[in-house]
Structure 1
Amino acid sequence: MEDLWEKLLMAGIVVLVALVLRLVLVFVIKRSVRVLTAKQNTREPDAELGSRARQILTRAGGLASQRQKQRIATLGSLLRNVVDVVLVVITLLTVLAIFGVPMGPLIASAGVGGVALGFGAQSLVKDYLSGIFMLTEDQFGVGDLIKVGDLTGTVQEVTLRVTKLRDPTGTVWYVRNGEVLTLGNVSQGFSTATIDIPVAIDEDPEKVQAVLRKAVGSMAEEPEWSTKLLENPNVLGVGSTSGGTMTMQISLKTGPDQQWGPTRAVRERAQRALAEAGIRGPILPGGAPTL
């Protein structure tokens, strides 16, 4: 009877130590989560960009801070679950050893079962490990526009096993994290666009460029576009010539995934300015230029 009480006392001490250790580890994890959450995104924009570009990208980084907090909270929850599982297993095995339960057959059975489970669930483990790395490296987050293989869509939800996307047609796609081999994030950094403006091949290129620069060269200074354009549109010059067409090119640099509106505005302004300047459109095969 005395031996039983001694074993119960030892088991109680083991459980108490495990509880104290869990409290310490959980406190450390929560403290780390609070410290990381309090830190703002300190990534500086490209030094080659102007002050306007740095301001816009800084605002974009501020909008992403909430996503960063969610990512840190998810990782903290994952670490707490890992701590709980490890401590429960170690405590249970220690208590069983105190009461004289043979550990050899139990550990051997667990090893065989673990190997069988590993072979059967290796794809599931791969998905979870990939999800952990995606969250840790902040490859993307909810609201980002990403490209995964041939699929392009907006991230609706991110879990450790799957990522839910919605493509432009409204279809929701579920992508297993372990199957993501290449991934492009359109919503990080900045976006660029090259706009082709076709005119008649016998027009004066310098005159056309002057008209285009006057039409779009100061768009970034206008209130409507100052929060999207990182710099004024740049008229690159002649991009190509083919048949009766000379193509002038204009480049844009905007905030992430914000190039669509400025692109349409540049086309409209270019078309209007060229028409007012009397610059003809591409020459059709029949010999008559387009309007």
Structure 2
Amino acid sequence: MSIPVDRILTWASSAGVRIVLIAGAAYLITRLVVSSVARLEAHLIRPQEGPLTEQQRRARTLGALVRKAAVMVVVTVAVLTILDELRVDVRPLLAAAGIGGLAIGFGAQHLVRDAVSGFFLLLENQVRVGDVVRIGDVAGSVEAINLRTIILRDLEGAVHIIPNGTVSRVTNLTREWARAVVDVAVAYAEDADRVMGILRDIGAGVMRDPEFAPHILEPMDVMGIERFAESAIVIRAAMKTVPLKRWAVERELRRRIKRTFDQMGIALSFPRMALYAGEPVREPGAARQEGAPSPGEGAGPQALRS
């Protein structure tokens, strides 16, 4: 059996060269994309001591995703082109891949939805590790953001794992700055202007405290009377703070308000219930004197004749 050398050489000089060029081009494009993403990632993630910041971790995650996606696209296109050069009909393969992809898509649609949502969560920087957020009826500190899930830990220490595809609204409680809001309920007999002046002094004292001064961005804003409650005048005050320090400032303000109001004799109002002890309620007719005949008692024949 003779080997058709001439046909092999002819094929190698035409289709073979094109296949080599396609493979080489795919390799070069892949290397170019990978190196470009790596340089961009290195520019964003500069060497430093200590753990990476959240922005640097996000850049690393997105860089890895871009590299994998680019390599997958280039390799897929190169393989299909090489098969076409080998005179392999790729249409049945594409049809089979389409049917298989459709079947997998029905089974993994939630997984794909979670991955796409996670990609945009990372890309748009909607939340960061360490933020305190509210997602639906769950609130807590963000411990991790993955392509498929976001992990929250609430105040009690419980961990909530939420699929990214189910996140329709995110309330970020610690983005850039926060506001410590305190409502103070005082009795109607108190002078509201005097109370508001005392609240401003308390806020100034907190700002002078070296423990809390770094956490406060603006002086206290005493907004005034918020509402008239059943048994109190509610006065609202607020302070702009750095993220994650809102609750500490609120607790300190409440502590100082209670101490100062006790010293100055200002009554903090709270709901009360009054109980009155009186005579027992008598049944109808119970007020008759004991022994008095009821109507009709003793009405004998004499009474009827009289």
- Normalised by the shorter chain, which TM-score bucket? 0.7 to 0.9
> Which whole-Å CA distance do the structure 1 matches of 2:7 and 2:45 have between them?
51
Give, as a single letter, the amino acid of the residue that structure 2 aligns with 1:151.
V
Match of 1:110 in 2: 97
Give CA-to-partner distance per residue, 1:228-248, whole Å, 9 cap, x none: 111122223333333442233
Kindly indicate whether the alpha-carbon contact (under 8 Å) linking 2:180 and 2:249 is maintained by their aligned counterparts in 1: no
Question: Match of 2:227, SS?
Answer: strand
Q: 1:246 to 1:131 in 2, by over 3 A?
A: same
Counterpart check, 1:29 vs 2:37: yes
Match of 2:28 in 1: 20
Kindly indicate whether the alpha-carbon contact (under 8 Å) linking 1:199 and 1:282 is maintained by their aligned counterparts in 2: yes
RMSD over equivalenced CA pairs, Å? 2.4
Q: 1:212 to 1:141 in 2, by over 3 A?
A: closer
Deviation, 1:101, is 1.5
Stretch moving more, 189-198 or 233-242: 233-242
Mind listing any 5+ residue stretches in structure 1 that lack a counterpart? 39-63
Stretch moving more, 71-80 or 236-245: 236-245
Question: Match of 1:250, SS?
Answer: strand
> Which whole-Å CA distance do the structure 2 matches of 1:117 and 1:242 have between them?
59
Deviation, 1:26, is 1.3
Match of 1:61 in 2: none
Match of 2:253 in 1: 266
Aligned residues: 263
Give, as a single letter, the amino acid of the residue that structure 2 aligns with 1:249.
R
Kindly indicate whether the alpha-carbon contact (under 8 Å) linking 1:201 and 1:241 is maintained by their aligned counterparts in 2: no
Kindly indicate whether the alpha-carbon contact (under 8 Å) linking 1:216 and 1:270 is maintained by their aligned counterparts in 2: no
Kindly indicate whether the alpha-carbon contact (under 8 Å) linking 1:75 and 1:136 is maintained by their aligned counterparts in 2: yes
Kindly indicate whether the alpha-carbon contact (under 8 Å) linking 1:218 and 1:233 is maintained by their aligned counterparts in 2: no
Counterpart check, 1:184 vs 2:171: yes
Counterpart check, 1:238 vs 2:246: no
Note the 1:154-233 alignment, pairs <5 A.
Answer: 154-233=141-220
Counterpart check, 1:124 vs 2:111: yes
Match of 2:82 in 1: 95
Larger Rg: 2
Give CA-to-partner distance per residue, 1:35-93, whole Å, 9 cap, x none: 4446xxxxxxxxxxxxxxxxxxxxxxxxx981111111111110110111112212222
Kindly indicate whether the alpha-carbon contact (under 8 Å) linking 2:177 and 2:242 is maintained by their aligned counterparts in 1: yes
Deviation, 1:9, is 4.0
Q: 1:91 to 1:243 in 2, by over 3 A?
A: closer
Kindly indicate whether the alpha-carbon contact (under 8 Å) linking 1:219 and 1:232 is maintained by their aligned counterparts in 2: no
- Which gives a bigger RCO, structure 1 or 2 (Cα 8 Å, sep 6+)? 1
Match of 1:78 in 2: 65
> Which whole-Å CA distance do the structure 1 matches of 2:231 and 2:93 have between them?
83
Pick from 211, 222, 247: which aligns with 2:234? 247
Give CA-to-partner distance per residue, 1:260-291, whole Å, 9 cap, x none: 1111111121122222222233385659xxxx
Match of 2:140 in 1: 153
Deviation, 1:183, is 0.7
Deviation, 1:184, is 0.9
Note the 1:52-63 alignment, pairs <5 A.
Answer: none
Kindly indicate whether the alpha-carbon contact (under 8 Å) linking 2:117 and 2:165 is maintained by their aligned counterparts in 1: yes
Match of 2:19 in 1: 11
TM superposition outliers: structure 1 runs of 4+ over 6 Å: none
Deviation, 1:218, is 4.0
Deviation, 1:179, is 0.9
Kindly indicate whether the alpha-carbon contact (under 8 Å) linking 1:199 and 1:246 is maintained by their aligned counterparts in 2: yes
Question: Match of 2:32, SS?
Answer: helix
In percent, how many aligned pairs have the same letter?
Answer: 31
Give, as a single letter, the amino acid of the residue that structure 1 aligns with 2:77.
I
Give CA-to-partner distance per residue, 1:95-149, whole Å, 9 cap, x none: 2222221222222222222222223322221111111111110011222111110
> Which whole-Å CA distance do the structure 2 matches of 1:105 and 1:199 have between them?
80
> Which whole-Å CA distance do the structure 1 matches of 2:96 and 2:187 have between them?
81
Q: 1:4 to 1:91 in 2, by over 3 A?
A: farther
Deviation, 1:152, is 0.6
Kindly indicate whether the alpha-carbon contact (under 8 Å) linking 1:162 and 1:174 is maintained by their aligned counterparts in 2: yes
> Which whole-Å CA distance do the structure 2 matches of 1:96 and 1:149 have between them?
50
> Which whole-Å CA distance do the structure 2 matches of 1:187 and 1:281 have between them?
30
Kindly indicate whether the alpha-carbon contact (under 8 Å) linking 1:217 and 1:234 is maintained by their aligned counterparts in 2: no
